[in-house]
Chain A
Amino acid sequence: MKSFARAALAAALLVAASPFAGPAAAQGTIKFGALYPFSGGLALLGDESFRGFELAVEERNAAGGIDGKKIEYIKGDAVDPNQAVGEARRLTSVDKVSAIFGTYSSSLSLAATQVTELAGVPYFELGAVSDPITERGFKYVFRTNATARDFAVRMVDSVIEAIAPALGVKPADLKVGIIHEDSLYGQTVSGYQKTRAKEKGLNVVEVLPYSAKSVDLTPVILRLKSAGVDVVLQTSYQNDTVLFFRQMKDQGYKPKAVMGAGGGYSTRDTMMAVGAENMEGALDVDFTQYNTNPKATPGLTEFVGKYKAKYGIDPRSGHSLANYMGAKVFFDAIAAAKSTDADKVRAAVMKVDIPVGETATGWGAKFSEQGQNTRAQPFLMQWQGGNLVTVFPEAAAVAKMKVGVGAN
């Protein structure tokens, strides 16, 4: 093994030193940073996000790279905001990358973008949802994915556009309850929900924050039950989602619909812990998942095939897909800029104009002055028979939405 490695190294050196090296090498490479949490508590989904970026790079390089230049990337391990800052500094000043892609977690992205903006290096966010990332007036921060506000708006609008028609009632006649864990995440999303619900004239009868570390949610459930809430909107992490569904069953509370968002509702672990029959009918707003109509998401099936070929398993969550889609959009923009100069890249990103339904996530791409993609939309999914299937909007749906929660 060792001797093979030596031989390979020697061969590589010979090729590199040879004046007859291929044209690609002569034209050089283009260097990007890949900033994700690769270790620590966020590592699982951080790595899942990175895989999407990695597949996009491989695909692009196989097709000749950007402007004939091969893409090379340098990993930065952002375990926490401090390290995100440190790694962003290293990537921009030592490694001199032309742009950074990342980050999965919002707190990491908020910290790292401060560094890259000052250094005048473009930062392409492919997965973090916090709205302020693209609300600080930064020039070189761009984001392809939907934000927390988009999630909240989709949740509220789904009550009007999907749930009320399915129940055959007027939206204003439904009693809506908003429950959320009381950290920054829950506060932010529920805040947007309240505003949107008010705009749309929905009847919100209960707003109940609770600690995500609570070991008993029966008081919350009894409040919802006493108020006769028909539709529950929950913003939660995993543990409290599991607890809510278990205790809802224990207390015999059967609302007409329960809707959540993100990791707490989308992961298989949650469904397994709750039990497929109790999770039946739970609605979920999230990034595009894999049970989505391929007509609305061209490239999705191919992506899953490539993923399986490289990693030997099915994608573990929708994060890889969102990162893959975002990386591809930005690679095209950089190619169109014909330069890695930050201002030229910005000008090219501003010219991107992809209609909805023409990428692997089903999103379009059109960027605001702040760098936010205005055509990214989370879909509405539902747990049916232990699978998470897209049910709304209709173009992306693979199954019809059912009403009611739980089999009992």
Chain B
Amino acid sequence: MDVLIQLVLNGILLGSMYAIISVGLTLIFGIVRVVNFAHGEFLMVGMYAAYLLAAKFGLHPYASAIPVVLLLFALGALVQRFLIQPLLSADEHIQIFATVGLSTALVNLALLLFGADLYSVPPSAAQGSVQVAGFTLVKGQIVMFVCALALVAGLHLFMQSTALGRAIRATAQNRNAALLMGVKVDKIYVIAFGMGAACVGLASALVMPLYPVTPTIGTYFVLTAFVVVVLGGMRSMYGAFFGAMIIGLVDSLSGYYIAPDLKEVVYFALFLLILIFKPTGLFGLGRGTE
């Protein structure tokens, strides 16, 4: 029983890490309607940035969250403005190729600059764990859980109660109608892509104390993030959050009760079942919105 509770706790905390990464991907997909295959590489860029800030200026990764978020916002906005925007009217496949190409380019750039070695920030309090009623909780993961909740709540407020948020929602619902209502759609896309990337920036600052960074670190997280996004209904931020929790739990429980190397099998099987029986995802808005 103790082990079960420990696994559930671990699963929820792991889920919150997936949540922060997936929310960004959902924003980009839901609003700009682009599948960003370079999402994992954005995480890698953010982690190297956090590492450099720690190594050169002695900044704690949590303190580096602010500059890293700004940097990633800029990166996302630039990618949208100069890579995706010229292709917006082109075939969807072309956009996919563009982001896949960007991902390959970023990985190789990192190989060139940093080599294949791994880098990590100096050990800090975030790596330790606390005992709560006999269960072990990793401090860095608790921080992630709190941040994930705050991020979703903050985005909710932003989307519901600011003019820009309403414009973003309008653009997501119907691009042409929004355009007719005087919304500068191209600008909204740039902002939305930037925000999606900024979420990854936050994720990288939070992940950095727990995982060392290598050029291919993005691939460790991004496949799961895609599953989460589809599971959550592709465009729903809350769906992404709960989808991430489900994947976290499945990951943790099946890794223990079935086998550690079969946990991917379990959640991909779950993924297929959901695609078959509820193709719009658990929190999707119904047919035609996917």
A interface residues, Cβ below 8 angstroms from B = 41, 44, 182, 208-211, 213-220, 222-223, 226, 238-239, 242-243, 246, 249-252, 269-270, 272-273, 275
Contact = CB atoms under 8 A, between A and B. Distances in A.
Chain A interface main SS type: helix
Nearest to B139: A250
Interface in B1-25: 3, 6-7, 10, 14, 17
Contacts of B6: 222
A251 B254 CA distance: 18
Contacts of A249: 127, 129
A210 B3 contact: no
A209 B260 contact: yes
Nearest to B223: A213
Interface stretch (B110-118, B184-192, B230-238): B110-118
Most buried by A among B115, B117, B221: B117
B80 interface: no
A41 B111 contact: yes
A333 to B, nearest CB: 34
B260 A210 contact: yes
Contact of A223 (B17, B219, B221, B256): B256
Nearest to A277: B123
Q: What are the 5 closest A-B residue pairs judged by CB atoms, nearest first?
A: A219-B255, A210-B260, A209-B261, A219-B256, A273-B120
A209 B138 CA distance: 24
Contacts of B53: none
A243 B254 CA distance: 19
11 contacts: A44-B115, A182-B261, A209-B261, A215-B14, A216-B251, A218-B252, A219-B7, A220-B255, A238-B214, A239-B217, A243-B211
A226 B3 contact: yes
B272 interface: no
A242 B212 contact: yes
A222 B256 contact: yes
Interface string B255-280: 11001110110000000000000000
A208 B261 CA distance: 8
Given A41-B111, A208-B260, A215 B211 contact: yes
Contact of A213 (B17, B118, B128, B220): B220
Contacts of A251: 129, 136
Given A44-B117, A226-B3, A242-B118, A217 B260 contact: yes
A239 B224 CA distance: 18
B59 interface: no
A214 B123 CA distance: 21
B75 interface: no
B136 A215 contact: no
Given A210-B260, A219-B252, A238 B7 contact: no
Given A219-B256, A222-B3, A246-B127, A211 B264 contact: yes
Interface string B235-252: 000000000000000011
Nearest to B252: A219
Contacts of A246: 127, 210
A209 B263 CA distance: 11
Nearest to A275: B123
A182 B265 CA distance: 13
B117 A219 contact: no
Given A215-B220, A252-B136, A273 B210 contact: no
Contacts of B111: 41
Most buried by B among A44, A213, A270: A213
Contacts of B224: 215
Contacts of B255: 210, 216, 218-220
B288 to A, nearest CB: 35
Contacts of A226: 3
Contact of A218 (B10, B219, B254): B10
A272 B212 CA distance: 10
B158 to A, nearest CB: 29
A269 B220 CA distance: 19
A250 B140 CA distance: 11
Contact of A242 (B7, B14, B120): B120
A238 B118 contact: yes
